[in-house]
Amino acid sequence: MFIIGSISFVLSLEEGFFAYQFRMVGWSLISLIAIITGGTGWIFGLWGCRLWFIYPISALCVHNYVDYIVCRYCPFHTPLSLLKPQASWEGFISGVVATFIYFNAVSSI
């Protein structure tokens, strides 16, 4: 891909526009290098620390699932229910307790 791009760049050079064309190629290459190295570093960091990426997301899923189950099958009517019918303090507290249980279970593994 780089070789094809280099050949097409050389073939597209026009007399009188060398400075402009080389300046544009330089900016394009610098932009590509910055984007590719940044993305590669992000992917390597994510792969190397994948446990710390998956662990909080799974804990959030546990909290939301338990909150939903408690609010769905144990509907208590609180003032918060007027704002969001699916939310209650009981569901939030049970989600926090379930998340701590999940933390203890997963961290022991």
pLDDT tens digit sequence for 16-65:
888 888 888 889 889 989 999 888 888 887 777 777 778 888 888 998 88
d(CA 54, CA 57): 5
How many domains, the chain?
Answer: 2
Residue 101 is which amino acid?
I
Question: 3-state DSSP: the chain helix, strand, coil percent, rounded to 5?
Answer: 80, 0, 20
- State the residue for tokens 């526009």: 17
Say what the pTM is.
0.49
Q: Structural domain of residue 97, as residue ranges?
A: 49-108
- pLDDT of 81 strictly over 70: no
Q: Are residues 40 and 73 in the same domain?
A: no
Mean pLDDT for all residues in the chain? 82
Q: Are residues 91 and 69 in the same domain?
A: yes
Q: Are residues 84 and 97 in the same domain?
A: yes
Measured CA angle at 70 (ends 100, 64), to 5 deg: 55
